[in-house]
Amino acid sequence: MLDLSKYQSIGAALKDALQAFSNEVCLIEADREREKERLTYQEFKERAHPFATALQEAAFVAGDRASIIMTNQSKWLISAYAIFYTGGVLVPLDYKLTPNEQWQLLKHSGAKVLVTEYPIWRQLSVAYGRSAATNVRAVLVTEAPANADLAGAQRWEEFRGSSEPTFVPRTRKDVACIVYSSGTGGRPKGCMMTHENYLEQCVALTSLYPFSPGVRYLSILPTNHAIDFMVGFFGPFICGAAVVHLRTLRPEYLREAFSKYKITYVSLVPLVLKNLQKGLQARFDELPPGKRRIFNALVAANKALTKSHPRLGLSRRLLKQVHDPFGGELRTIIVGGAFTEPQTLQFFYDLGIPVANGYGLTEAGTAITVNDLKPFRADTVGKPLPGMEVRIVNAGADGIGEVSVRSKTIMSGYLNEPELTAAAIVDGWLMTGDLGRMESTGHLQLFGRKKNMIVTEEGKNIYPEDIEAVFDSLPVKESCIFAANYIWPQRSMVGEQLLLAIHLEPGQTYSDELRRDISARSNKLLNYQRIHGVVLFDRDFPRTASLKIKRSLLAEELAKLDRASAFLPL
Amino acid sequence: MRTLEQTTQEVLDLASKHFNVPAGSLAPEDDFFKKLGIDSLQTLEMLSRLENHFGIELPDYEVQGVSDFRTLASRIQSRL
């Protein structure tokens, strides 16, 4: 088991790793069929240090915040390392947010420096949100064309100091990253993750999925996401493994990357895993009857032989035609970001490709449970990771209650939100808002949510408060968005939908025109944020003295309606 | 050199062919996620088809946040 007990910070642990593995390859970056970059740990350090020096020359000091808004690429990791080296706090933001959402979070985080890519900066620089984020004093832009107008930014490539940077130590309890789990709609939830959170999580995860020199991790999930930050940066780097970045995520180049770079691990969201399943199933269905019978017999044999635990070498020989396109080195597909359907997990396991599903929250420092595959249990999200205490609160007769967690990986709180923090962490236990049951075998099963939000198959957390502004001027008396399962609880983690509850003006009817208006507004949202239906409520919404909607009370009232007849699909 | 209208029409024709919807049933202002009922991955597949057709490379970031055929066509047009 990895021992990181001597380290106080991410920066200190990475600094030693860069030294220890100096001749190993740490990064490969490819754009379609072209390999753009291949760096050893030594070369990585040589890129990062001048950047760190330049940060220090720009008066970036311990505790200062720097944000990265980039797609997955080598400069993401180089910049992050330099930020940690100089004692900074990293604010990784989702490059898929709208420019104004990004400015809103940049302002909220108090970031002094922004590192971004030219195509993203082109949109950010002209967004109106820029004027409010006066805290952002330096913007460093990568890959800008020679004659580009940088709109006040500096070129990342030219932001270099000539002397050696000074390493700035931090303590385990200092904040290392501010990671936004939600909240572009008013109350951003910036999870303050400490150095200890990451050091402990790294030890726990690598005990199940070890990294070492020669291991290659294909980084597809955005690196701002807690999972990829851990298994696509910190984990592999600490152990001397290599990370492979692709500049395009087109399926054909993704497929090619597995065999070209002999990938060992990859993390995917359920949507991509299901797409992979569909593609494989279509291939199997095309087999002529004779070959199909032989193939089915081999799958049956593999199932029988891997019942208690995976046997990779055996599965690779038995089902060569399935494993070869994956490069022959793939050990595990890690799936996260959202709930994965058991039949998808089972499909891959039966083919001898273990899929490590788990359960986690940004607030908990990535993963809480992971399927250890001994034996594989597709109907659960696995057992708690080492160091994680999980308990079920207010369990009913069926054993189902709210999942709560205590560990050294739990965030220190939400930035500038003591009330939200106090509601989320009670006596040291993180209340997840998810419903689950602990089995006698130690496996956790999930049964829906207590909280008003949905998680899409793409791993996107959608909170109603974040998207309600689109319906602000809707010509009705009042409206409010809910997760349908929050009103009518379902013992399920899939097929979650959002609905718009509306209270019409006196004498107003739910006309076709109104429905079209709602639909048009919904379509302005990103495709995974859109609402699926409308529920009509015939009374005033319950409100607080300050006229805020009492959501939980309104949900209780709406729950008295029959879901099947009340939910009007858009 | 194609005009934007021609490019848009070719994008619509290719999308209807790729996703097996009747020719002429798609309009430039249509939201392709909704109209075709596709997800982000299927959109990437469609992009690859469009790249092959137009002989260009369209970086993923160029289509970030794009959901209608007209904007997609204009992004292609700027690279022709």
Q: In whole angstroms, give the CA distance from residue A441 to residue A545.
A: 49
Whole-number pLDDT of residue A297? 95
By C-alpha distance, which of A216, A376, A359, A405 is closest to A308? A376
By C-alpha distance, which of A298, A284, A178, A233 is closest to A48? A233
A38-A69-A260 Cα angle (round to 5): 30
How do residues A310-347 score in pLDDT, each as one tens digit? 999 999 999 999 999 999 999 999 998 888 889 999 99
CB A182 within 8 A of CB A461: yes
Whole-number pLDDT of residue A159? 97
> Does a structural domain hold residue A75?
yes
Chain A residues near any Cβ of chain B (below 8 Å): 32, 71, 95-96, 98, 117, 119-120, 247-252, 271-272, 275, 458, 523, 526-527
Whole-number pLDDT of residue A454? 85
Q: What is the mean pLDDT of each run of 10 residues along chain A (570 residues)?
A: 95 98 97 93 98 97 97 96 98 91 95 95 93 96 92 97 97 97 73 98 93 96 92 97 91 88 93 87 93 95 93 94 91 89 93 92 92 88 95 92 96 95 95 93 90 81 84 92 89 83 92 93 84 92 83 91 91
Nearest CB among B41, B45, B61 relative to A120 is that of B61
- Listed in sequence order, the residues at least 6 apart from A205 whose beta carbon sits closer than 8 Å to its beta carbon are A230, A231, A235, A366, A367, A370, A385
Whole-number pLDDT of residue A254? 85
Specify the DSSP class assigned to residue A471. G
- For residue A481, the cross-strand partners are A500
Question: Which of A228, A260, A292 corresponds to the end of one domain?
Answer: A260
Check if B67 contacts A (Cβ < 8 Å).
yes
Question: Which of A260, A276, A297 corresponds to the end of one domain?
Answer: A260
Coil, strand, or helix at residue B58? coil
Question: Does the distance separating the beta carbons of A71 and B60 come in below 8 Å?
Answer: yes
The domain that contains B39 carries what CATH number? 1.10.1200.10
Number of domains in chain B: 1
The domain that contains A556 carries what CATH number? 3.30.300.30
Whole-number pLDDT of residue A186? 60
Nearest CB among B31, B41, B45 relative to A523 is that of B31
Look at the alpha carbons of A508, A510, A516, A517 in this order and tell me if their dihedral is positive or negative: positive
How many helices (H) and strands (E) are present in chain B, helices listed first?
4, 0
Name the minimum distance, in Å, from the CA of A31 to any CA of chain B: 9
> Does a structural domain hold residue A359?
no
Question: Does the distance separating the beta carbons of A252 and B41 come in below 8 Å?
Answer: no
Domain with B29 in it = 4-77
Look at the alpha carbons of A249, A252, A253, A255 in this order and tell me if their dihedral is positive or negative: positive
CB A67 within 8 A of CB A111: yes
Q: CB pairs under 8 A, 24+ apart, for A429-432? A: A429/A391, A429/A393, A429/A404, A429/A405, A430/A361, A430/A363, A430/A364, A430/A404, A430/A405, A430/A406, A431/A393, A431/A402, A431/A404, A432/A361, A432/A363, A432/A364, A432/A368, A432/A402, A432/A403, A432/A404, A432/A405
For chains A and B, CB pairs below 8 A equal 47
Question: Does the distance separating the beta carbons of A250 and B44 come in below 8 Å?
Answer: yes
Nearest CB among A95, A119, A252 relative to B48 is that of A252
Joined tokens for residue A94 = 């989702």
Whole-number pLDDT of residue A184? 54
Listed in order, strand segments (DSSP E) in A380-428 are 383-384, 389-393, 401-406, 413-414, 425-426
CA of B39: which chain A residue's CA is closest? A527
Within 8 A of B40 by CB-CB distance, chain A residues are 271, 458, 527
- For residue A502, the cross-strand partners are A479, A536
Omega cis (within 30) before A354: no
> Does a structural domain hold residue A334?
no
> Does a structural domain hold residue A59?
yes
Q: How many CB atoms neighbour CB A11 within 10 A?
A: 25
CA A419 to chain centre: 24
Within 8 A of A247 by CB-CB distance, chain B residues are 59-60
CB A337 within 8 A of CB A227: yes
How much is the pTM? Answer: 0.86
Name the minimum distance, in Å, from the CA of A254 to any CA of chain B: 11
CA of A527: which chain B residue's CA is closest? B33
Q: In whole angstroms, give the CA distance from residue A389 to residue A376.
A: 21
Coil, strand, or helix at residue A480? strand
Name the minimum distance, in Å, from the CA of A122 to any CA of chain B: 11
Class of residue A532 by CB neighbours under 10 A (exposed 0-12, middle 13-18, buried 19+): middle
> Does a structural domain hold residue A204?
yes
Domain with A473 in it = 462-569
Question: Does the distance separating the beta carbons of A95 and B48 come in below 8 Å?
Answer: no
- Of chain B residues 3-42, which have a CB less than 8 A from chain A? 31, 33-34, 39-41
Site from B18, B32, B38, B39 to mutate, A interface, most A CB atoms within 10 angstroms: B39
Question: Does the distance separating the beta carbons of B64 and A95 come in below 8 Å?
Answer: yes
Return the residue matching tokens 């829906």: A448
Number of domains in chain A: 2
Nearest CB among A119, A247, A271 relative to B41 is that of A271
Name the minimum distance, in Å, from the CA of A456 to any CA of chain B: 11
> Does a structural domain hold residue A53?
yes
The domain that contains A53 carries what CATH number? 3.40.50.980
A509-A514-A519 Cα angle (round to 5): 145
Question: Which of A260, A287, A320 corresponds to the end of one domain?
Answer: A260
- What is the phi/psi pair of residue A445, to 5°? -115, 140
Question: Does the distance separating the beta carbons of B65 and A96 come in below 8 Å?
Answer: yes
Can you say whether residue A497 is alpha, beta or left, with left for phi > 0 and alpha for psi between -120 and 50 degrees?
beta
